[in-house]
Amino acid sequence: MNFRQEFIEFAVAREVFRFGEFTTKAGRRSPYFFNAGLFNDGAALGRLAEFYAKAIDASAIAVDGLFGPAYKGIPLVAAVAIALARAGRSLPFSFNRKEAKEHGEGGSIVGAPLSGRVLIVDDVITAGTSIRESVDLIRAAGASPCGVVIALDRMERGNGQLSATQEVERDYGIPVFAVANLDDLMSFLRQSPDFAQNAAAIARYRHEYGVARSG
């Protein structure tokens, strides 16, 4: 089993994936829901960060530093930096405040100065707002956003024909890669007799709203 399948198995066991009927922000009836907020204890966050580290290594992307958008990206970027360091790749990391601090050191960036090629670490991409803000902050500091890593790519169309991840790649000219995507989830479910019904429902949803794999 590769790390992507291991991640899916782990997320299902943590009930981060829920199966049933859920309404998305776009008003669609989705047969599954992914709630990264349920990686909510030290052991789970540490394991999640290890999967991120493996995805970053597998991407072979050149990175000089890590950035986590407030707020969900803050614990993620710190944990991923630790996981990478334990694997022998220590990188500086930083994150932003929602409101700039006017006393002390001031500014909106906390942690290492942004420089060189900066990888954005987030959980998922929906509207892409936090990514746009992150790109602007990184470029304003004189650094270069080099990519985005997320936990799950839903591979689902937005308002047009592209997915949210594909729109980010188009708009900013940077790659987006995920620990796992909808194809990985489908593969796991099809190999698990207990989830055969869920696999069929997600396949129908994918047929109606899905996009092809990026790249």
Domains of the chain in start order, with CATH, are 3-209 (3.40.50.2020)
Answer whether residue 2 shows pLDDT above 50. yes
CA atoms within 13 A on the CB side of 72: 16
The predicted-structure confidence for 115-132, as pLDDT tens digits, reads as follows 999 999 999 987 778 899
Mean pLDDT along residues 36-58: 97
- Least confident range from 2-11, 60-69, 191-200: namely 191-200
213, 184 in Cβ contact below 8 A? no
| Range from 22-36, 51-65, 96-110 that averages highest in pLDDT | 51-65
3-state secondary structure of 110: strand
Give the Cα-Cα-Cα angle 156, 159, 160 (nearest 5 degrees): 85
The predicted-structure confidence for 179-191, as pLDDT tens digits, reads as follows 999 999 999 999 9
Answer whether residue 164 shows pLDDT above 60. yes
Mean pLDDT along residues 167-196: 93
> Which whole-number Å values give the CA distances from 150 to 16, 55, 167, in the listed order?
15, 9, 14
Answer whether residue 105 shows pLDDT above 70. no
Answer whether residue 215 shows pLDDT above 50. no
Determine the pLDDT at residue 101: 55
Prediction pTM value? 0.92
154, 34 in Cβ contact below 8 A? yes
State the pLDDT confidence band at 7, using cuts at 50, 70 and 90: very high
Higher pLDDT, 71 or 10: 10
Tell me the catalytic residues: 101, 103
- The first and second tokens of residue 103, run together, are 């006393």
